[in-house]
């Protein structure tokens, strides 16, 4: 009998791409999300784990700016609830795949971040996600943590969708050029997660599409691919004051996960070109 996998936050950007990939791989998949599932409720967690061999936690408080105002909520969802998930999973023998973020780093490093680099989050969102990682480790359940960055897909708002929408208006765009990373398609993340589940890999991994670019360079790539004659002007992060500091370097070293994957990680350009060529 195929393993039953529960995806928490399964109707979000990553969960929506992950579910069909897991089904295609032969797993039985159950999707849970708000409002019927609340990660912070013990009874909801118990029901989510009932009958499951694997749980993938895509559920999170992801509004980075709102996290500064709603500190307790961010910490409850991204931190303490992940520890409770780990404790419940250990009790039931369930394998946990937990999704984390580049925001656990301060972005001040000039080389790609490896898994052994010490985290130093700049903001509440990053601190809450780091607390979740630590709480999951402390639970001593069988688990793997996958840090991802600059996610995009067909479900939910993201940098790619925002640039595409704004470029279609034909108005000049200003895009920051001092934040670098790799836009990473959730479809590619899903294939990597499937390998982690299949092989029951444990520990910590970084995943992103290969290469890196500034957000300005990514915006230019999008408009070129879509043949949109819009002017894009580079600027610095300070031109867009926000309540939250963001890491300026989100570049991941993905050598550790590449060793275990079935195929080379695609470049961000190839992945994004395929995504843009696919109807939503």
Point out the residues that are catalytic. Answer: 125
Q: Cα(40)–Cα(82) distance, rounded to whole angstroms?
A: 8
Torsion-angle region of 78 (φ positive above 0: left; ψ -120 to 50: alpha; else: beta): alpha
- What is the rounded radius of gyration, in angstroms, for the C-alpha atoms of the chain? 18
The CA distances from residue 199 to 51, 85, 95, 167, 204, in Å, are 20, 21, 11, 42, 14
In a 13 Å sphere around the CA of 279, the CA atoms on its Cβ side amount to 0
């Amino acid at each position: 009998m195929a393993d039953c996998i529960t995806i928490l936050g399964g109707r979000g950007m990553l969960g929506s791409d992950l579910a069909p990939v897991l089904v295609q791989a032969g797993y039985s998949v159950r999707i849970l999300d708000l409002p019927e599932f609340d990660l912070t409720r013990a009874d909801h967690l118990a029901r989510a784990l009932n009958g499951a061999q694997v749980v993938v936690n895509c559920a999170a408080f992801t509004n980075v700016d709102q996290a500064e105002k709603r500190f307790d909520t961010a910490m409850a969802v991204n931190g303490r609830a992940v520890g409770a998930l780990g404790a419940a999973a250990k009790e039931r023998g369930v394998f946990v795949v937990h999704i984390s973020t580049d925001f656990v780093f301060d972005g001040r490093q000039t080389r790609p971040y490896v898994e052994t680099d010490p985290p130093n989050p700049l903001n509440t969102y990053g601190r809450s996600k780091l607390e979740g990682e630590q709480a999951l480790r402390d639970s001593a359940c069988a688990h793997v943590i996958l840090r991802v960055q600059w996610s995009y897909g067909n479900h939910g708002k993201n940098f790619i969708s925002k640039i595409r929408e704004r470029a279609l208006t034909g108005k000049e765009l200003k895009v920051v050029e001092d934040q670098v990373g790799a836009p990473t398609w959730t479809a590619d993340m899903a294939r990597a997660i499937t390998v982690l589940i299949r092989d029951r890999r444990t520990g910590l991994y970084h995943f992103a599409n290969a290469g890196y670019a500034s957000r300005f360079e990514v915006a230019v790539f999008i408009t070129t691919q879509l043949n949109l004659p819009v002017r894009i002007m580079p600027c610095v992060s300070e031109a867009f004051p926000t309540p939250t500091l963001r890491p300026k370097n989100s570049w991941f070293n993905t050598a550790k996960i590449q060793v275990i994957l079935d195929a080379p990680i695609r470049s961000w350009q190839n992945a994004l070109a395929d995504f843009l060529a696919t109807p939503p």
